[in-house]
A and B are shown apart, each in its own frame.
Chain A
Amino acid sequence: MGTHNYNLTEQFEFTGKAKTLSIIAIVVGIAAIGYGFSAEALHERTFANLLLMAYYFACVCMSGAFFLAVQFVAQAGWSASILRVPQAMAKVLPIAVVILIVVMGLGLYTHNLYHHWHADGLTDPSSPNYDKLIDGKSAFLNVPFFMARQVIFLGVYSIFALLLAKLSNNEDLHGGLNSYRKSFKYSCIFLVIYGFTTPIFAFDTVMSLEAHWFSTMFGWYNFAAMWVSSLATIAIIIILLRKSGYMSWVNNSHLHNLGQFIFGFSIFWTYVWFAQFLLIYYANMPEETVYFYIRFEHYEFWFYLNLILNFLAPVLLLMDRDNKRQENTLLAVSIVVLIGHWVDYYQMIMPGTVAEHHAFGFIEIGIALGFVGLFTFTVLSSLSKKPLIAKNHPFLQESLNHHL
């Protein structure tokens, strides 16, 4: 056991360049939304982008809570000193949830989103719009039940996220093992709920944009995407904090572990992506291939870019042990993975909304930047409220001495 002289009350100060840049990004985002709503023809595209980024924002934050729960349930020691970063992400989840629900509600109300299953006459046999398939699914895909599911799922995730953050706060104040034991118990419950409900959450939010098509792999495919993008976000925040002089206790072995996580779950993402693709390709049934047909016809560039950024880049760049331990390489790969999952969500959401009229311009970039700014602002301000290390965590010594 080495002895260390780390400042265990170190606190992040959210000022200066980070604050200015995130506010500028938010302003750019608001400008992009304003521009998107200035012309009737751009409404659907704007809504699709808002859904994309709101979904991305919520997924990254809820996977922050998932990260915390996984660490508690695994009784992991290595991560004890970095838990405040996913905690800050988890604490922002309620904000993300409100934005996502507002976007979905407005999209449904104005018929810009989910018009595939939410339009007049789709379930009325006497109407010319009658759609037998949608009618058959209407017991599940109807607006009240849809919104109720969203509110309940996201509400439960938020409650558990805040609960885990609160328990960690109690641990700081009172010490002892009581908070840890409670965190363990609530994490177990949370993981079970999360595991069963995230696929349904992904079916609702993204898959129902193309309501005729369905895939049972879709939920896990989205779970892999949100989990790996969240891991990349955690790595980026930690590396940037380290570069600006905070969290001196984070050593190469911690980065190595995060790198292994990103590497492993990028492969897992590819695995579920491919499992979905291969079955559809091999069976070649029209009602299933329609999904990839539109992506090959109109999104070929994005389709291949998605695989390059999310599979080839992390696998080739993070395969070597030394690369995982180098903060600059890990930072670069994490950024590539984050952009890659934007591309991933882009080609999940756009074909079901704007279809062949998709574009990549100010609205896409602006809204993405706006949400990145919002995420940075909210997460960093919640990070600055508490010390950067949970000083009474029972495994803290193990984490400070972590060595691979």
Chain B
Amino acid sequence: MNNIKYILGSFGDPDEMMHGIDKLQENNIKIHDVYTPMPIHGIEAKLGVKRSRLDIAAFFFGITGTCTMLSFVYFAAAYDWPINIGGKPHFALPDFIPITFELTILFCAFGLVGSYYASTHLFPGRAPRVMDLRATNDRFIIAIDAKENAEHSKIDDLLKEAGALEVKYNERKYVSYE
């Protein structure tokens, strides 16, 4: 029984890697994920990555900030300690627009940083887990789940044919920095 969990094709050139993705997809081999040191245009569409829902999250974080500040200002200025300022109503909305706007942005920014940490498991103090260390440096990595795709030699051939500089068989999912 082999214990290979992931096959990694390591490319030195993004165009060759894109070619490799095409080759694998033509042969109905499911790609687990691709790791690159830089953003590559059009790769999400090719891999069928689902659209990020970060924008929806941003909207709701922002709305939370708006509501928080408006309710706090209402509590402070109109309910708990009303003061007459220049004869204006206690809850003079235009005065509180700037601070509401600021809190909307603050909640949105903090919320998005939090969501980013949660979705990537990148908490402060935690060593990042990566499949191949060189994917953060100079290599473009295609990862294939070895348990789901049994034809290992075929995958190996396809990757080498597309220009992979090396093909690795990993028995652990992640090589971590730990």
A284's partner among B41, B59, B86, B98 (CB-CB below 8 A) is B86
Q: Which of B42, B55, B94, B95 contacts A403 (CB 8 A)?
A: B42
A274 at the interface (CB under 8 A from B): yes
By the criterion CB–CB under 8 Å, are A282 and B97 in contact? Answer: no
The answer, among A278, A281, A321, A403, for a CB contact under 8 Å with B98, is: A278
Given A284-B86, A321-B55, CB of A277 within 8 Å of CB of B41: no
Judged by DSSP, the binding face of A is helix
Chain B: interface size category: 10 to 19
In chain B, positions 77-126 with a C-beta closer than 8 Å to chain A are: 86-88, 94-95, 97-98
Docked-complex contact A274 and B97, CB < 8 angstroms: yes
Q: From the candidates A278, A281, A321, A403, name the one contacting B41 in the complex (CB within 8 A).
A: A403
Report the minimal beta-carbon distance from B86 to chain A, rounded to whole angstroms. 6
- For chain A, residues 260 to 294, give those with C-beta under 8 angstroms from any C-beta of chain B: 274, 277-278, 281-282, 284
Cβ distance A361 to chain B, nearest Cβ, rounded Å: 33
Contacts of A321 in B (CB 8 A): 55
Bound form: Cα–Cα A403–B98 in Å? 36
Residues in B16-73 with C-beta less than 8 Å from chain A: 41-42, 55, 59
**Could you tell me the distance between the alpha carbons of A277 and B95 in the complex, rounded to whole angstroms?**
10
Q: Which of A320-351 contact B (CB under 8 A)?
A: 321
Given A403-B41, A403-B42, A282 and B94 touching (CB < 8 A)? yes
Which residues of B sit under 8 angstroms from A277, Cβ to Cβ?
94
A274 to B42, CA, bound (A): 40
Q: Which residues of B contact A (CB under 8 A)?
A: 41-42, 55, 59, 86-88, 94-95, 97-98
A-B contact pairs, 5 of them (CB 8 A): A274-B94, A274-B97, A278-B94, A281-B94, A282-B86
Given contacts A274-B97, A278-B97, A321-B55, 16 further A-B contacts (CB under 8 A): A274-B94, A277-B94, A278-B94, A278-B95, A278-B98, A281-B94, A281-B95, A282-B86, A282-B94, A282-B95, A284-B86, A284-B87, A284-B88, A319-B59, A403-B41, A403-B42
